[in-house]
Amino acid sequence: MYTPNEKRYEKMIYNRCGKSGLKLPAVSLGFWQNFGSKGCFENMEKMVHTAFDLGITHFDLANNYGNPYNGSAEENFGRILDGMRQYRDEMCISTKAGYEMWDGPYGDRNGSRKYLTASLDQSLKRMKLDYVDIFYHHVFDPDTPLEETALALDNAVKQGKALYVGISNYNKVQTEEIMGIFKELHTPFIVNQPSYSMLNRWVEDDGLDDFAYENGIGLAVFSPLYQGFLTDKYLKGVPADSRVGRGETWIGNQLDDTMISRLNALNDIAAKRGQKLSQMALSWVLSNKAVATVLIGASRPEQIIENAACIEKLNFTDEEKAEIRHTLG
């Protein structure tokens, strides 16, 4: 029987998500990788328990997470929750729908009312929950009117199946457009989930981060370690057992000699700060005032412990900022 750490809330930092009343831990646990049916359930359970013991209360899922089949991450999380349900009100659980999920025209990548409504019902069944705290549209759909997508998310709240709504993989223009619809509907729209890291700064170029901050929308950032590039894993090349080595990431071709040199330079800066490269990379993302939380992935509990320690050193000196900018180019 799991008993959580009594001191779990003493160190974690909790940030308000935009201008909403919801606070998210600075570090959240994502289920994109390593929680599917191929994984070891005991290890998954230990990772969730480790995260919760560290004050990580936000668990981020999606309908299509899980390897080798969609939905298996939610199913495994539901099994883990069976031993933790008395702590449900201490958790913020989010899920998403938008990418391909099941066969036929109603389960492909889209933002229709039919797909979003059916998918959320399926997610709740898999996790054995009455509601999720945040329900996201996972990816912008140019073929479905935004009004329809927004109404589907709003309807989830009105039905009591979600407390808040969010969007993911929406740029500034798309965010502004759907935000206007949410305002008319009085929908509790509080968060956008983009990719963002030292090596992927599109939200700055796009202006999404400034727009979100100015309009009270929190950013929950995924891939803050650029799918593992910003760790010590690739400092000496490509290990055969890594995601790049196994061909499990579409950015593997970016890991050339120039990138490895840049990663080593960033690692030197991190060492001078008394941090691991991964910790500094997370601290750097969290230093953006628009960011409420970073979503970390993990394959071992020890990685969660290491990455959660980023909150111990969130500030950067002007000299460090300049050195990082020079290194990134």
C-alpha distances in Å from residue 129, one per residue of 116, 121, 122, 174: 17, 10, 10, 30
Does residue 5 lie within any of the structural domains? no
Q: What is the mean pLDDT of residues 19-25?
A: 98
Q: What is the mean pLDDT of residues 85-112?
A: 96
Distance separating alpha carbons of residues 299 and 59, to the nearest angstrom: 15
Quote the tokens at residue 185. 């509907």
> What's the confidence (pLDDT) of residue 254?
73
Does residue 6 lie within any of the structural domains? no
For residue 131, with 0-12 CB atoms within 10 Å meaning exposed, 13-18 middle and 19 or more buried, which class applies?
middle
Mean pLDDT score of the chain, rounded to an integer?
95
Does residue 114 lie within any of the structural domains? yes
Q: For residue 246, is pLDDT > 90?
A: no
Q: For residue 245, is pLDDT > 60?
A: no
Quote the tokens at residue 148. 């329809």
For residue 38, with 0-12 CB atoms within 10 Å meaning exposed, 13-18 middle and 19 or more buried, which class applies?
exposed
Contact of 119 with 97, CB cutoff 8 Å? yes
What range does the domain containing 57 cover? 14-328
CATH number, domain with residue 198: 3.20.20.100
Does residue 1 lie within any of the structural domains? no
> What's the confidence (pLDDT) of residue 252?
60
Q: For residue 67, is pLDDT > 90?
A: no
Contact of 178 with 146, CB cutoff 8 Å? yes
Quote the tokens at residue 49. 């328990």
Q: What is the mean pLDDT of residues 89-118?
A: 97
Tokens 């927004």 label which residue?
A: 150
Does residue 3 lie within any of the structural domains? no
Residue type, 220: A
Does residue 7 lie within any of the structural domains? no
Distance separating alpha carbons of residues 28 and 322, to the nearest angstrom: 28
**Total domain count, the chain:** 1
Over residues 181-228, the pLDDT tens digits come to 999 999 999 999 999 999 999 999 999 999 999 999 999 999 999 988
Does residue 49 lie within any of the structural domains? yes
3-class SS at 73?
Answer: helix
Does residue 266 lie within any of the structural domains? yes
